[in-house]
Every structure is written in C-alpha cells, then in structure tokens.
Chains A and B, each alone.
Chain A
Amino acid sequence: MNLFAYLGAWAMGTFERVGRASLFLYEIVAGSGQLFRRFTLVIQQVYAVGVLTLLIIMVSGLFVGMVLGLQGYNTLVKFGAEESLGLLVSLSLVRELGPVVTALLFAGRAGSALTAEIGLMKATEQLAGMEMMAVNPVTRVIAPRFLAGVIAMPLLAAMFSAVGVLGGHLVSVGLLGVDAGSFWSQMQSGVDFYDDILNGVIKSAVFGVVVSWIAVFEGYDAVPTSEGVSRATNRTVVYSSLAVLGLDFVLTALMFKGV
C-alpha cells in the first residue's frame, strides 16, 4: 500500500509542477508585451545568454563539422561517392546537429546560469523585495531572460551550422582532397532552403522556447536555499537536455516524413 501512496504522491507532485510551469509560461508571455517599451532589458540579457555563449558554440561547431567530414569520408569513399561529403556534412548539421547540439550546449552554458541567477535572487529575497515595491518580478526579471533565450537560440544554431560547414570544408577539401567545386555544388543541389534550412530554424526556435522556459521556471520555483539552488540548476540541465532530445524526435518525425 505504501508503494501506491508514494506513486500517487509522485504523480500528483509532477502534475502540479507541470501545471505551475504552464501557468508561469502564460504569465511570462502575457508580461512580455510590456517589454517592448523597455527593450534594453532584453538586450542586456541577449548579451548574457547569447554573446557569452558564442565562443563555445563556434568552437564546437567547427569541431563537429570537421569530425563529420572525417567520419563521412571513411564511409563514402567505399562507394566512390566522396563528392557527396559536402551534402552529408551540411544536411546533418542543418537538420539535426545544429539545432540539437546548440540547444544542449545552451542548456549547459546559459540555462544553468539563468537558473542559478534567478534562484539566488529568490534565495536572497530580491524577488520578494521587488514585489514589495510593486514591481512585478515576472515582467522585470523573468520575461527579459526568457525572451533573450528565444531570440538567441536560432541565431546561435545558424552560426553553429555555418561554422560547421566551414569546418567540414576545411577537412574535406584541405585535408582529404575532395574537389571544392563538387563539395559546394552537391551541397547546393541537395539542401533545400524551405525543407531543410527553415525547418532547422523552426526546430531551434522551439528548443529556444523550451530550454529558456525550463531554465527560468526552475530558478523561480527553486527552494530558496543554497542546496535548493544547486538542485534547481542540476534539474535545468537534465530536464532541458531530455526535453530537447525527445522533442527533436517528434519534430523530425513531423518535418522530414517523406523527404
């Protein structure tokens, strides 16, 4: 009987958290309308979550592209199709790796920082202090961070893919001796702007919403102690990584059915 009680408590607790998170998202979206009058708040946060994440994104993109080039070459050369290396690198980057790896890195680099920041603000009662001064912390603190994450993610993913393609070019043309002309022309004939690139951008926008949402909610919902904040930060990284990978499967199944 105790087992069922635990299970019931766990299920109810989970549903309650999901419900609170959904209401919180509604509050953020409703509150972000006022932000357009004070857009500097968002710009500050774009600096924090976007510009400071740029370096890790660029470096990872470069290496992922280079590794894709090396690994793809090994398989393609068996079929005498090493000219398609550009296509392989760019399609995998634009469709999958760009959005997904960027979202995972973003969750680790920016999402955890957001949660820790908001959680500490709560633990030191800054958020309560704002409410005392009749400043809504959701519109003043949470919404700019959420919006910045949503803006930054597609841009970061695009940069990741672009740098990755350049990395793949570097390895396959410079190191493995694939013809540069066919590298680019095969890529251009195989990658479709709407089917591949735009769908990749849509994916990364969805991931941006999900990761930023989880990050700000975990921070806002954290137990206001140092242990609570560390747990919330941990949960942000775990939950957003799982959400990104799960959603990626769903989105891929919806987008690339017959293509």
Chain B
Amino acid sequence: MVGKKTLEIWVGIFVAAGIAALAMLAFRVGNLTAADVVDGYKVRAYFENIGGLKVKSPVTMAGVRVGRVTEIFFDNESYRAVVVMNIDGRYRKIPKDTGASINTSGLLGEQYVGLDPGGDEEYLRDGDKITLAQSAIVLEKLVSHFLFSQAEKPPQPKK
C-alpha cells in the first residue's frame, strides 16, 4: 500500500500531466493560439457560382490570410450566392473597388476567396458590398466549353 502523501502526489502529477497534454493539444496541435479574426468587420460579395467554397474557408490578399468566410446563402432576388466574409480588424485600408474571386490552392486544394485591391480612395467598411466578384471556375464547365468549341470548328482539310 502506498502512503497517503505519496498517493496524493502521484494523483496530482497525473492530473497535471493530463491537463498539460490537453493544453499541448489545444495550443500546439490545434489552432487556439492563432486567435482567428480579431475585431473583424463583415463584407459581402455576390457570386454567380461559388464552386466548393465553404464556411470557414480563408479569405486572402496577396496570398496572406486576412479573414474567413462566415456565412454563405442563396439570394432569392438576384439568384446569386452571397458570401459574407469577416475581415481582420488590422486590415481596415482595403479600397472600396476591391475585387473578389474564388480560387483554388493547387490543383486539388481547398477553395478560398482572393481579394485584389483596387485604387479607390475610400475603404471598405462593416456591411459593405464588394461589387467586382468573379465566380469559381468549375472544371466541368471548362471542359464542356472546350468540347463545344472544338465541335463547332469546321474540320481541317486534310493535306
């Protein structure tokens, strides 16, 4: 039988190690340290087609992540997809005529919203709408365009 004091010390070590492991999982493995979007503001963009974009997909500018997609829904009036993005408060100087496009990282990677800065003097504010929005490239559409354009061409005369 272990003495009472040693027993309590061992249990204390056990509990402390468990909590330390949980903390390691949270901070080292998980993304709790990178407080995601600090003091953000919301911007909307209307897309014809969002492809495989999902809530929580990153929003980048020049390749740097500046925010995240927080909400995606279908607008019944304009028949477009509305993408609401939460932009980090550190990046308040994004011009009003900035364009948004949906890109894919790599050939099979996840989709993200890329922002291309415009030249406007005014900056985007909370609740603003991005007017220049370029849809996602859907691979099937691209292929079918290519096939149709091939079919429409007159056959090349053989030499």
Contact = CB atoms under 8 A, between A and B. Distances in A.
B50 to A, nearest CB: 16
B29 A90 contact: yes
A162 B25 contact: yes
Nearest to B8: A43
Contacts of A50: 11, 14
Interface stretch (A21-29, A181-189, A231-239): A181-189
A191 B29 contact: yes
A150 interface: no
Contacts of B26: 193, 197
Interface residues of A, number: 30
Contacts, number: 82
B29 A51 contact: no
Contact of B22 (A152, A188, A201): A201
Main secondary structure of the interface of A (DSSP, over half): helix
B3 to A, nearest CB: 11
A216 interface: no
Nearest to B109: A81
A155 B31 contact: no
Contacts of A192: 30-31
A191 B31 contact: yes
Interface in B1-26: 2, 4, 7-8, 10-11, 13-15, 17-22, 24-26
Contacts of B29: 90, 94, 161-162, 165, 187-188, 191, 197
A188 B14 contact: no
A53 to B, nearest CB: 9
21 contacts: A43-B7, A43-B8, A46-B15, A50-B14, A155-B15, A158-B18, A158-B19, A158-B25, A162-B20, A162-B21, A162-B22, A162-B24, A162-B29, A165-B24, A188-B29, A188-B30, A188-B34, A189-B31, A191-B31, A193-B26, A197-B25
